[in-house]
Amino acid sequence: MNSKILVTGGTGYIGSHTVVELQTAGYEVIVVDDLSNSNIDVLDNIEQISGKKPAFEQFSLADAAKTDDFFNRHRDIAAIIHFAASKAVGESVQLPLHYYRNNLVSLLNILDCQVKYGISNIVFSSSCTVYGQPDKLPVTETTPRKDAESPYGNTKRVNEDILQDAVRAYPQLKGIALRYFNPIGAHPSALIGELPLGIPQNLVPFITQTAAGLRSELLVFGDDYDTPDGSAIRDYINVVDLAKAHLVAIERLLQNQNKTGYEVFNLGTGNGYSVLEIVKGFEKVTGLKLNYRIVERRAGDIEKIWADTTFANQELGWKAEKGLEETLLSAWNWEKRVRGIR
Ligand code: UD1
């Protein structure tokens, strides 16, 4: 069986963890990344963990000619996991055209090449952002999607539609969209993790950078939500658990178990935690005191969301295994290694 997997965005946060899982399971991986938000050194760290450095090419999949040339040279790719995308919610409001061009055109270019070169299988990185603030919790895959709150969120929604329509039109195509809840943490080796450029927008990197002394305080956005402690609730999932779900999705596609052609899965833990619970949990596992202050709500934030993971449990046989404390500790160990803290 041909087992060469293309991972776009494979030097990024979720991508690098997924490359490790694929290689550990025996797959041959080729990474394409434009390195706009990641570092080439990640490949060496992937090698340290999994014993193998993946093949690598640097270009943007939004470039149609380069993408075509790549697939023309790699006709033996069995499946694609498409992570490569711009992902900062706030930035997408400032630079909507960049977000639409980069995120939509790259998927279109890939799908064009799949049809042209006969590559059937693709796994697409989607997000729970497509649900907006759901009317009912937890959310299942059939919970109606809502209008996106940002251009970034809209690119996820539109890309899901593009994939679904392409699968309908070309029976040889098979696609799985994975809707991630909030990925956090790092590989237990602390060799790979999330390294945001500039000031982190996401909660856990902001917490670990504050604890490391890079930021003076964490701002907790809102304590007047309709939740037990007033802060907003999310479903935080360990990035290694998330990466493992990609391996299962790839195997489902390669073994032709995806009967409808296009499928969607929620990837979360099924548990919701508030911002303040995350802060307290971090303080507990690290023994550190975090400097934080409660401020106004952040524009565009929803109040609460967590996943119903029944479909992924049943169909993929996948379930998040790591607990919150272990995950927060892995995030801290990663931050410590990156900053040289003992
Ligand atoms: C957002 C996107 C999600 C995207 C993810 C990655 C939405 C609804 N969600 O998730 O699709 O994949 O970013 O970029 O668009 N918080 C603080 N202080 C901080 C940072 C965050 O209190 O300094 C709070 C937020 O208000 C929120 C929670 O922590 O309640 C999680 O925030 P964040 O990590 O940014 O993720 P989301 O906004 O849930």
**What is the whole-number distance in angstroms between the Cα of residue 215 and the centre of ligand 1?**
18
pLDDT at 255 over 70: yes
**What is the whole-number distance in angstroms between the Cα of residue 148 and the centre of ligand 1?**
14
Atom 10 in ligand 1: residue holding the nearest Cα: 182
C-beta separation of 41 from 17 below 8 A: no
pLDDT band at residue 2 under the 50/70/90 scheme? low
Which of 202, 210, 293 to probe ligand 1 with, by most ligand atoms within 8 A of CB? 202
Residue-wise pLDDT tens digits, 210-249: 999 999 999 999 999 999 999 999 999 999 999 999 999 9
pLDDT band at residue 337 under the 50/70/90 scheme? very high
Mean pLDDT (the chain, rounded):
97
Average pLDDT over every residue of 196-219: 96
Nearest residue to 305 (alpha-carbon basis) of 235, 237, 243, 202: 235
Tokens representing residue 87 in the block: 């992902």
Atom 2 in ligand 1: residue holding the nearest Cα: 129
Q: For the whole prediction, is pTM greater than 0.75? A: yes
Which amino acid makes up residue 118?
G
Tell me, what's the pLDDT at 197?
Answer: 86
Tell me, what's the pLDDT at 13?
Answer: 98
Q: What percentage of the chain carries pLDDT values higher than 90?
A: 96
Average pLDDT over every residue of 6-23: 98
pLDDT band at residue 1 under the 50/70/90 scheme? low
* C-alpha count within 13 angstroms, C-beta hemisphere, residue 324: 21
pLDDT at 112 over 90: yes
**What is the whole-number distance in angstroms between the Cα of residue 203 and the centre of ligand 1?**
6
Tell me, what's the pLDDT at 157?
Answer: 98
Tell me, what's the pLDDT at 270?
Answer: 98
Pocket (CB within 6 angstroms of ligand 1): 87, 89, 127, 129, 149-150, 153, 182, 201-203, 206, 218-221, 232, 234, 275, 298, 301-302
Active site residues: 152
The enclosing H or E element of 242 equals helix 239-254
Atom 30 in ligand 1: residue holding the nearest Cα: 232
pLDDT band at residue 259 under the 50/70/90 scheme? confident
**What is the whole-number distance in angstroms between the Cα of residue 234 and the centre of ligand 1?**
8
Tokens representing residue 225 in the block: 């939500």
**What is the whole-number distance in angstroms between the Cα of residue 181 and the centre of ligand 1?**
10
Average pLDDT over every residue of 67-82: 98
Cα 52 from Cα 94, distance rounded (Å)? 39
Which amino acid makes up residue 209?
Q
Helix or strand or coil: residue 240? Answer: helix
User: Cα 37 from chain centroid?
Assistant: 14
Atom of ligand 1 nearest to the CA of 128: 11
Which of 149, 223, 234 to probe ligand 1 with, by most ligand atoms within 8 A of CB? 234
Tell me, what's the pLDDT at 92?
Answer: 95
